[in-house]
Amino acid sequence: MNPVSVVLREQFKNFYLIQRLAQFQIKISTHDNYLGLAWEFINPLIQIGVYYFVFGIGIRGGRADIHGVPFILWMLVGISMWFFVNQGILEGTKSISMKYSQVAKMNFPLSTIPSYILMSKFYTHVILLGLIIGICFLSGIKPSIHMLQLLIYIPFVYIFSLSVTMFTSTLGVLVRDVQMAVQALLRVLFYISPILWLPEGTSEKMQIVEFIMKLNPVYFLAESYRSAILYHEWYLVEHWRLALYNLGFVLFFFILGSILHVKFRERFSDFI
């Protein structure tokens, strides 16, 4: 059986196991805190406040809306996706290195380790996104049929993160420096994405900047969320080339990650 089939089979066969382990992971990650699960929302709120103060008030000076949408709502929708992608990939990258010793002597499907770590972050993402959608409605954004696209975009964000972590979690076992490299790379992707800003103007320089930003998969993820919730556009139809590019990105990393994972997982104990 080829590596991709092996990993996919383990994901589907152990779906309910992934859910149970994800729920358990949420409990053990918050049980030492007095506020418990509340910190999963307090930390994002603090970051949102800082980003709005710096970019919305400081750099933009409270200037006009973006595409007719208040900056705070525009930022909230985009950054809700980023919190999940960033935390999910960071935690997923070190998941096998940290959890392998607990299952080393068991007949455990190792490819599900990054999956349940990622799923534990996905629950929080869905709740946070729901709260942000509610804020948008209360602020005057009208619900529309375009929001049905979220049924595609939300799973795609999870699949994107899983494809990356399937690759980085295995590579992180083989080369420990990968964890620090991923952290640095995510920071770069954050600032060259349209989460906090968009290139303004039609000059050749700005067009080059926008082209570079579109190569960043975070661009598609952020703008697809905004199109469904704020812009009321069919993003997949209007930007189908960008959608195909990002689908290719996901397939590339999932296939490469599956090959690496299946090839080296019998030797993980030698590296950990």
DSSP codes, 39-83: HHHHHHHHHHHHHIIIIIIIISTT---BTTB-HHHHHHHHHHHHH
Q: What are the tens digits of pLDDT across the range 243-260?
A: 999 999 999 999 999 999
> Does 32 fall in a domain?
no
| Measured distance CA(119)–CA(104) in Å, rounded | 21
Summarize the confidence of residues 4-11 as an average pLDDT. Answer: 94
CA dist., res. 243 & res. 70, Å (int)? 26
- Average pLDDT of 145-172? 96
Tokens of 1: 């059986």
- The whole-number average pLDDT for the span 191-217 is 86
- Count of CB atoms within 10 A of residue 212's CB? 12
Amino acid identity, residue 216?
Answer: N
**CB neighbour class for 85 (10 Å; exposed up to 12, middle 13-18, buried from 19):** buried
> In this model, does residue 38 exceed pLDDT 70?
yes
> Residue 199 in contact with residue 208, Cβ under 8 Å?
no
Separation of alpha carbons 135 and 243, rounded Å: 28
Is residue 242 predicted with pLDDT exceeding 80? yes
pLDDT at 254: 97
pLDDT at 224: 96
Residue 81 counted as domain residue? yes
Report whether pLDDT(62) > 70.
Answer: no
The Cα-based distances of 118 to 30, 87, 89, 162, 202 in angstroms read 16, 8, 7, 7, 39
Answer whether 0.85 is exceeded by the pTM. Answer: yes
How many structural domains are present in the chain?
1
Q: pLDDT grade, residue 138 (50/70/90)?
A: very high
pLDDT at 128 over 70: yes
pLDDT computed for residue 185 by the predictor? 96
Structural domain span for residue 72: 3-27+37-271
Instruction: Provide the 10 A C-beta neighbour count for residue 28.
Output: 9
pLDDT band (50, 70, 90) for residue 64 = low
